[in-house]
Every structure is written in C-alpha cells, then in structure tokens.
C-alpha cells in the first residue's frame, strides 16, 4: 500500500476538472490537447487546455487519464495549477512542482508527475506550432528498449530532479524496470550528469540569466522582480525589485526560491546575495 498524502487521496476520490473540452468555435479562444503515455504501457494522459488567444492565457483545463491513484491526482492537480496562468508561466511548471502541490508523491510514483509536465508542454508547444523538448529527446538513441526511453530523456530527468541512482530513474520514467539490461547504461548517464562540468564565466552568466527568467514570472505576479547584478566566482549578486525588495520574506525569496533554483539548475555551489 502506497503512502499517499491527504491531497493525493482527496484528488483521487474527488478529482477536479476531469473530462474534456470540446472543440466549440468560440471567438478569441483556442482548444489544444497534449497527450502522453500509452494505455498499453499502463498510464496515459490527455490534457485539454482552453486558451485565451489575446491574453496568451489558459482559462480552462481538463484531463482524461488512464492510470493509478497518483496519475489521477497529478493530472487533477496540474489542471488546477495551470488555470489562469499565462502560457510562459505555465511552461515553467516542473514535475517536482506538481508533486509539491500534492504534498509529495511516493518516489515510485513520480513518473505520474513527469507525465503531467510532459502533457502540459506538449499542449502548449502544439498551440505554438513547436516541438516539445521531451519529443526532441525521443529522437535520440534508445537507452531502454523495454520502455522506449532515450538517453536524452534519462539525462533530462536526472538533471531536473537531481537523481543519483538507476532505481530513482526507474521511478520517474520507468527505464530499467523491465529486463534490466539497460541499468549499467543508466548508471553511466547519471555519472556523466553528476560529473561537474566546468563552466566559463560567460556560460555561467547565461545559465543564471535563463534560470532567473524562469523565476521572474512568479515574482512579477506578486508585484516584484529580480535582476542579475554581478557574478564573481560562486557568488551571485542580485537586485530584488518592487515588492520583493521591501517584502518581509525577501530573505526567504532570496535563499529558498532564487538560490535553490540556481543551485539546482546552474551550480550546486552558488551563493546568492542581495545588493
Ligand atoms: S532495456 Fe531497459 S529494462 Fe529492458
């Protein structure tokens, strides 16, 4: 028996936004879908989004899923999380954000949150006529033939979730959970990701800027903002602006939001300071 949070159980027994959004002609609105997984493999999710074309904003979201308790709860959580969001901000949602919204998921069920993030990305990219990053990854060589998972996809999930073992990778994307012949290849990918890659200063600044761009919409929604001031070795100076500069919890924003994200996405040794 899995140890599910109250939120997971609540959304499983009383799922919100289950169903579909029909393709009705409505002025200024577009309906798009993102579909991932396959019923043959055990889990599948079809996410429906209604988008306000003028505001580039999601105004409604529904889901249809074939899967377990956590698949239903993750899909339901995702629809609640994206409603009302601008598309760029919705694209910033990670699978870990979905799991956090649910008060956590058992490690063995994290692949349900990955499925939600991929369906969201697929729907928005399809609306924009682009190819989702995870689909480009699917074009690489297969690492796990049992579950049709590429090395690039394993690399991405290892990076985004800081995974350190093949067992964890299995819980996120199922790779390695069949015949097991790919387990050593998964270990090699993990090792290559964990090897510190020295960054040039220009690369470091570029990655920091990209990471800050991902945080900015959340701060701006609360009337704040952040800008990069300087980078010296592992010390990153930022300027908190607007509401963030005067907010009582600016230190928490600096450390728990900005520093945590930069450490995760750029370098684990970074220290963020406000100027
Ligand atoms: S090839 Fe990955 S489990 Fe079989």
Alpha-carbon gap, residue 183 to 168, rounded angstroms: 11
pLDDT in tens, 218-249: 888 878 889 999 999 899 999 988 877 777 77
State yes or no: pLDDT of 51 exceeds 90. yes
pLDDT in tens, 4-40: 999 999 999 999 999 999 887 788 889 999 998 765 5
State yes or no: pLDDT of 255 exceeds 70. yes
**According to the model, what pLDDT value does residue 238 have?**
94
Mean pLDDT of the chain: 87
Go through the domains of the chain in sequence order and give each one's CATH number.
6-129 (3.90.1010.10), 134-194 (1.10.10.1100), 201-274 (3.30.300.130)
Active site (annotated) includes residue 179? no
State yes or no: pLDDT of 133 exceeds 70. no
Which protein residue's CA is at the shortest distance from atom 4 of ligand 1?
179
The predicted model scores a pTM of 0.60
Between the CA of 186 and the centroid of ligand 1 the distance, in Å, is 10
State which ligand 1 atom lies nearest to the alpha carbon of 180: 3
Q: In terms of pLDDT, which residue wins out, 136 or 68?
A: 68
pLDDT in tens, 187-213: 999 998 887 667 888 889 999 999 998
State which ligand 1 atom lies nearest to the alpha carbon of 186: 2
Q: Ligand 1 pocket: which residues have CB below 6 Å?
A: 144-146, 175-182
């Amino acid at each position: 028996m899995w140890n599910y949070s109250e939120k997971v159980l609540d959304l499983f027994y009383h799922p919100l936004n289950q169903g579909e959004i029909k393709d009705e002609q409505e002025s200024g609105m577009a309906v798009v879908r993102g579909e991932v997984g396959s019923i043959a493999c055990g889990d599948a999710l079809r996410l429906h989004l209604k988008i306000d074309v003028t505001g580039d904003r999601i105004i409604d979201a529904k889901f249809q899923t074939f899967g377990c308790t956590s698949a239903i709860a993750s899909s339901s959580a995702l629809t609640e999380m994206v409603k009302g969001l601008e598309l760029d901000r919705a694209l910033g949602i990670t699978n870990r954000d979905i799991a956090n919204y649910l008060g956590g998921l058992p490690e063995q069920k994290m692949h349900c949150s990955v499925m939600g993030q991929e369906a969201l990305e697929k729907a928005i990219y399809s609306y924009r006529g682009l190819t989702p990053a995870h689909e480009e990854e699917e074009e690489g060589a297969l690492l796990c033939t049992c579950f049709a998972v590429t090395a690039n996809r394993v690399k991405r999930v290892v990076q985004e979730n800081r995974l350190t073992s093949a067992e964890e990778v299995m819980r996120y994307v199922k790779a390695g959970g069949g015949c097991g012949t790919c387990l050593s290849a998964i270990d090699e990918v993990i090792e290559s990701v964990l090897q510190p890659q020295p960054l040039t200063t220009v690369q470091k600044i570029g990655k920091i800027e990209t990471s800050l761009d991902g945080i900015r919409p959340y701060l701006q929604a609360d009337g704040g903002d952040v800008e990069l001031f300087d980078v010296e070795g592992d010390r990153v100076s930022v300027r908190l602006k607007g509401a963030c500069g005067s907010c009582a919890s600016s230190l928490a924003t600096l450390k728990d939001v900005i520093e945590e994200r930069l450490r995760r996405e750029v370098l684990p040794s970074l220290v963020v300071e406000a100027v």
